[in-house]
Amino acid sequence: MPLEIATIPCLSDNYAFLIHDKLSGDTAIIDVPDAAPVHDTLEKLGWTLTHVLLTHHHWDHVDGLAALLKQHPATVIGAKADAHRLPALDIEVAEGDTLTFGDETATVIDVSGHTVGHIAFYFEKSGMVFTGDSLMALGCGRLFEGTPDMMFASLSKLAKLPETTLVCSGHEYTASNGRFAHTIDPDNTALTTRIKSVADARDLGRPTVPSLLSEELATNPFLRCGDPDLQKSVGMSGADPAAVFAEIRARKDNF
């Protein structure tokens, strides 16, 4: 039985995710931007929090944790490499480590780039990956600490997951990411269709995440750096995809 998932809007444009294993009752929150909406969702669904999974140290992913733990004590899990600047961790993990969660095994993936020490959590059985600010819907996180090569390597790992994987990323940036993507990939019909569907969803107040990895592979420019049409569009035909990534990340920073 796959995990149940609840997408929780927080702050102005963040998302946290609750996952729940019905048989064991295990319930985890991935990142805690704000305690109140997480608490309200737990109460509404009648779930008891057991785990907290942190992707990285930025305030808009951890600042609600202390208040949440006062009402919902739970085991806090985060990156060993980031432990010095994360809230206090009960379990420190690194790439390749696994976590038992109900009937699932979650694998930790190092996705450094946005920050150094950023991790993602991949639940293979349920086909979900929680990427924080690494791979995002139609984009990727800004490189505050890492290098383009570092982020390109991280995204390349995520791109190898099954295409049916649900990508649960940390922000509602999809519409703006789509506007940028169209400037460098204007002839991509799948992208044009997705931009329209994103606009329709936002007009109705609906989240545009999670997204399918298959959608990202077809439309997200940061996963398409080896595509000949995109390379031609940015004037880098035949270039190393990592170099193309660095170019389009720089363009996005100035968009």
Reported as a single tens digit per residue, the pLDDT across 215-228 is 999 999 999 999 99
Per-residue DSSP letter, 19: E
Whole-number average pLDDT of the chain? 97
> What backbone phi and psi angles, to 5 degrees, belong to 23?
-70, -45
41, 6 contact by CB (below 8 A): yes
Report angle CA 47, 48, 53 to the nearest 5 degrees. 105
- Confirm whether 57 is a catalytic residue: no
Beta bridge partners of 128: 123, 166
> What helix, strand, coil percent values describe the chain, rounded to 5?
35, 25, 40
Residue 167's pLDDT is 98
99, 78 contact by CB (below 8 A): no
Please give the Cα distance from 133 to 5 (Å, whole number).
19
Known binding-site residues equal 56, 58, 60-61, 114, 133, 171
- Confirm whether 56 is a catalytic residue: yes
Please give the Cα distance from 59 to 61 (Å, whole number).
5
Q: Which one has a higher pLDDT value, 245 or 2?
A: 245
Give the tokens for residue 91: 């379990």
Please state, for a pLDDT cut of 70, what percent of the chain lies above it.
100
CATH of the domain at 227: 3.60.15.10
- C-alpha count within 13 angstroms, C-beta hemisphere, residue 95: 10
Residue 152's pLDDT is 98
Query: Distance of CA 44 to CAs 6, 35, 40, 119, Å?
Result: 11, 14, 6, 29
- Confirm whether 40 is a catalytic residue: no
Please state, for a pLDDT cut of 90, what percent of the chain lies above it.
99
Does the CA dihedral 27-170-9-61 come out positive or negative?
positive
Of the residues 51, 56, 118, 182, which is catalytic? 56
Mean pLDDT along residues 225-249 = 97
| Least reliable range by pLDDT among 100-104, 117-121, 129-133 | 100-104
Please give the Cα distance from 41 to 162 (Å, whole number).
30
Per-residue DSSP letter, 80: G
- Confirm whether 51 is a catalytic residue: no
Of the residues 58, 72, 118, 182, which is catalytic? 58
Count of domains forming the chain: 1
Q: Which domain holds residue 24?
A: 4-253
CA dihedral 42, 49, 69, 91 (to 10 degrees): -150
Known binding-site residues for Zn(2+) equal 56, 58, 60-61, 114, 133, 171
Inform me whether the pLDDT recorded for 105 exceeds 80.
yes
Inform me whether the pLDDT recorded for 1 exceeds 80.
no
